[in-house]
Amino acid sequence: MAFQQKLIEWFEKNQRPLPWRRHYEPYAVWVSEIMLQQTQMDTVLPYYERWMKTFPDVKALAASDTKKVLKLWEGLGYYSRARNLHAGAKLIVEKFGGTMPRDFQTLLSIKGIGRYTAGAISSIAFNQPDPIVDGNVFRVLARLFALTGSIDIQKNREKFWRLQESLIPPGQARDFNQGLMEFGALVCTPQNPACPVCPLQAFCWAYKKGDPEAYPVRSPRKKTVQVEAAALALKKDGKYLLRLRPVGSIMGGLWEFPEWKLARDKKITAHEKSRLTVKLAKKEFGTNGLAIKPVGKIRRNYTHHLETLDVFTAELSGTVQPKTRWKHVWASSRDFAKYPFSSAHAKIAKLL
């Protein structure tokens, strides 16, 4: 138990004063864990504070409309997280009277709550001995035990879950689980870990082997795909055309300016981008002789993709009827604040 107690002592002295740690209220822990998936702490904190002011409890979130939920999430990315939080809150109100369940298996029945999040709520909010393994925990355990299996392979990941569960000290799941994550964030970092001053140095096999940054082991990364795309802000009578991405699609429930992919792993000229955009606009809106002009470029990254999005505008004189079945509206720039956009399209709105 020497390693576990050393870690808990370190956590008690060095933990960051995060807002959900004030009372460990289950709803607050749930919201924080969902926001922290795929997102850095510094980015999450202002979003968390705004969210809790707007939706202070499960019932307030359940009673809100989806548009308001997504607008508050705007810029955090991975918008299915927000939709699942909303759906989960409704289920908790309907099935559990607005009280977050304590049981791990029951938590798994709530939309958007998987193995990690259920373990986080169970152990952090209720101090129950359920494991949680995130990127920080993978790294800390891989180094402490010099584990050589790639963490990108599922059977190897299962070993980490079993190991982490076996290490939880009785009655101390909350501090131990948070301690592992916090230690990975502050001391056992991906690059340049603080090994010379590490309080767990005596327990660390990677340190003894002399190469802690070799852990955790990962499979070779996939090649990044270069994508060229275009977005078109069609303006008529002082209003812009927006369309709603259907729920179930990528970024479903968000509004956007019409957008098209133009090329993959192929550079195309500015003239070719304009030509293709005019051609695609004609196909979708039936516009002829559309005069478009560039207003900027936006770069965005998503899973193994690096995209350059060229933004164009065009004034319309006649009527257009989008051929897509997606819902669409005409909105003034003042109205943009009412519509939830992805990060890229929020930047387009700002450009306009």
Is the pLDDT assigned to residue 102 strictly greater than 90?
A: yes
Is the pLDDT assigned to residue 319 strictly greater than 90?
A: no
State the amino acid at position 28 in one-letter form: A
pLDDT for res 40 = 92
- Tell me: do 14 and 126 sit in the same domain: yes
Mean pLDDT across the chain, nearest whole number?
93
Domain boundary among 182, 214, 246: 214
- What is the distance between the alpha carbons of residues 159 and 157, in angstroms, rounded to a whole number? 5
pLDDT for res 118 = 97
pTM here? 0.84
Residue 149: partners with Cβ closer than 8 Å, 6 or more residues away = 155, 156, 159, 217
- Tell me: do 171 and 47 sit in the same domain: yes
- Tell me: do 181 and 201 sit in the same domain: yes
Is the pLDDT assigned to residue 313 strictly greater than 90?
A: yes
Active site residues: 33
The candidate with the shortest Cα–Cα distance to 88, out of 76, 79, 98, is: 98
- Tell me: do 103 and 250 sit in the same domain: no
- Tell me: do 180 and 248 sit in the same domain: no
- What share of the chain has pLDDT > 70, as a percent? 99
Is the pLDDT assigned to residue 77 strictly greater than 90?
A: no
In a domain, 300, yes or no: yes
Is the pLDDT assigned to residue 199 strictly greater than 80?
A: yes
In a domain, 220, yes or no: no
In a domain, 303, yes or no: yes
The candidate with the shortest Cα–Cα distance to 58, out of 95, 22, 21, 99, is: 99
* 75 or 47, greater pLDDT: 47
- Tell me: do 292 and 147 sit in the same domain: no
Residue 111: partners with Cβ closer than 8 Å, 6 or more residues away = 84, 87, 88, 91
Domain boundary among 168, 195, 214: 214
- Tell me: do 173 and 235 sit in the same domain: no
Domain boundary among 184, 214, 244: 214
- Tell me: do 176 and 240 sit in the same domain: no
- What is the distance between the alpha carbons of residues 100 and 108, in angstroms, rounded to a whole number? 12
- Of the ranges 66-75, 143-152, 245-254, 294-303, which one carries the lowest mean pLDDT score? 245-254
pLDDT for res 135 = 94
Domain count, the chain: 2
- Tell me: do 168 and 312 sit in the same domain: no
In a domain, 115, yes or no: yes
The candidate with the shortest Cα–Cα distance to 188, out of 177, 198, 174, 203, is: 198
- What is the distance between the alpha carbons of residues 41 and 82, in angstroms, rounded to a whole number? 17
Span 172-198, pLDDT tens digits: 999 999 999 999 999 999 999 999 999
In a domain, 219, yes or no: no
**CATH code, domain carrying 313:** 3.90.79.10
85-99, 306-320, 328-342: which is most confident: 85-99
- What is the distance between the alpha carbons of residues 134 and 129, in angstroms, rounded to a whole number? 16
Enclosing domain of residue 323: 225-351
In this prediction, residue 301 has a pLDDT band, given cuts at 50, 70 and 90, of confident
- Which region, left, alpha or beta, applies to residue 134 given φ > 0 means left and ψ of -120 to 50 means alpha? beta
Residue 2 token pair? 């020497």
- Tell me: do 159 and 16 sit in the same domain: yes
Span 123-149, pLDDT tens digits: 999 999 999 999 999 999 999 999 999
The candidate with the shortest Cα–Cα distance to 186, out of 237, 252, 134, 136, is: 136
**CATH code, domain carrying 51:** 1.10.340.30
- Tell me: do 229 and 325 sit in the same domain: yes
In a domain, 92, yes or no: yes
**Distance from chain centroid for Cα 175:** 25
pLDDT for res 325 = 74
Task: Evaluate whether 123 touches 172 at the Cβ level (below 8 Å).
Answer: no
In a domain, 280, yes or no: yes
Span 220-247, pLDDT tens digits: 888 889 999 999 999 999 999 999 998 8
pLDDT for res 288 = 77
Is the pLDDT assigned to residue 304 strictly greater than 90?
A: no
Is the pLDDT assigned to residue 289 strictly greater than 80?
A: no
Is the pLDDT assigned to residue 168 strictly greater than 80?
A: yes
- Tell me: do 205 and 260 sit in the same domain: no
- Is 326 exposed, middle or buried (CB count within 10 Å of its CB: 0-12, 13-18, 19+)? middle
Q: Averaged over 209-221, what is the pLDDT?
A: 92
Place of tokens 């207003």: 295
- What is the distance between the alpha carbons of residues 66 and 72, in angstroms, rounded to a whole number? 10
In a domain, 150, yes or no: yes
